[in-house]
């Protein structure tokens, strides 16, 4: 009986510690969501993951680099390009595109090539506070953080953070670092064509390269430009309070 009691006590204490640890982590995430509603984001979870991963592989030359810039220092064409490329329902949804999710599920059931349906809000939540994998645990946490962001942040803020932490190439995070690396100019001076090219690599920035675009990336760039013209450029952004 004593052994059972002690074993039960250990399990109970372990459960309490786990519960306390989870509560602390959730508290940190919620605090981060509140603070980053108005503070610049110095780094993201994905940046940390990439940096630590490089060090563990013995690559000490890798540097995860980003330069925070506010929305008014980003070319409107860049904001429009990522919406056109990644999430055309961004101004209207509350973090999730149900139609896109249903289409992705149907596609993935009949194809070996998986298709994602993450919105800009979901990608921001994942990149900022979570890690890269496809487990249900991560997806569940992503959904919770996405809802918190949508409830606390404005759409303009979500888009601003997304543009500042999105990965555009090896060690290159955020549109300012990408503009300087690939076009030798600030993000405020990006042309529509340059913005579309950067947006074209977003599905897989470690496979697709803005400085050596494949035929697929070039075709995607042209598709994004057509979508941008149909959306209406700066007027579209202002009508939706995104710029």
pLDDT single digits (tens) 53-89: 999 999 999 999 999 999 999 999 999 999 999 999 9
Domain co-membership, 98 together with 204: yes
Whether residue 30 sits in one domain with residue 43: no
pLDDT at 112: 56
3 and 122, same structural domain?
Answer: no
- Is there a single domain that holds both residue 7 and residue 73? no
Give me the DSSP letters along 220-238.
HHHHHHHHHHHHTHHHHHH
Looking at the structure, tell me whether residues 91 and 153 fall in a common domain: yes
Residue given tokens 């496979």 in the structure block: 207
Domain assignment of residue 9, given as a range: 1-35
If asked whether residues 48 and 156 sit together in one domain, one would say yes
Q: Is 63 helix (H, G, I), strand (E, B) or coil?
A: coil
Same domain assignment for residues 232 and 142 = yes
Residues 131, 213: one domain?
A: yes
pTM passes above 0.75: yes
103, 208: one domain: yes
Overall number of domains in the chain:
2
Distance CA 115, CA 235 (A): 31
């Amino acid at each position: 009986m004593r052994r059972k009691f002690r074993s039960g006590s250990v399990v109970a204490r372990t459960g309490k510690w786990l519960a306390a640890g989870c509560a602390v982590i959730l508290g940190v995430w919620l605090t981060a969501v509140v603070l980053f509603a108005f503070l610049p984001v110095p780094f993201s979870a994905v940046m940390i993951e990439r940096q630590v991963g490089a060090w563990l592989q013995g690559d000490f030359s890798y540097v995860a680099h980003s330069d925070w810039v506010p929305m008014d220092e980003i070319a409107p064409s860049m904001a429009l390009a990522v919406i056109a490329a990644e999430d055309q329902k961004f101004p209207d949804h509350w973090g999730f595109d149900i139609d896109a999710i249903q289409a992705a599920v149907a596609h993935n059931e009949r194809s070996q090539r998986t298709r994602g349906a993450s919105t800009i809000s979901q990608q921001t939540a994942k990149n900022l506070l979570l890690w890269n994998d496809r487990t249900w645990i991560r997806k569940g946490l992503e959904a919770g953080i996405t809802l918190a962001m949508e409830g606390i942040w404005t759409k303009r803020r979500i888009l601003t953070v997304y543009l500042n932490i999105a990965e555009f190439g090896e060690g290159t995070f955020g549109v300012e670092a990408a503009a300087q690396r690939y076009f030798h100019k600030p993000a405020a001076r990006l042309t529509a064509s340059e913005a579309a090219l950067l947006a074209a690599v977003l599905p897989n920035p470690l496979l697709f390269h803005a400085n050596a675009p494949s035929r697929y990336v070039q075709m995607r760039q042209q598709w994004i430009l057509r979508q941008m013209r149909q959306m209406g450029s700066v007027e579209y952004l202002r009508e939706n309070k995104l710029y």
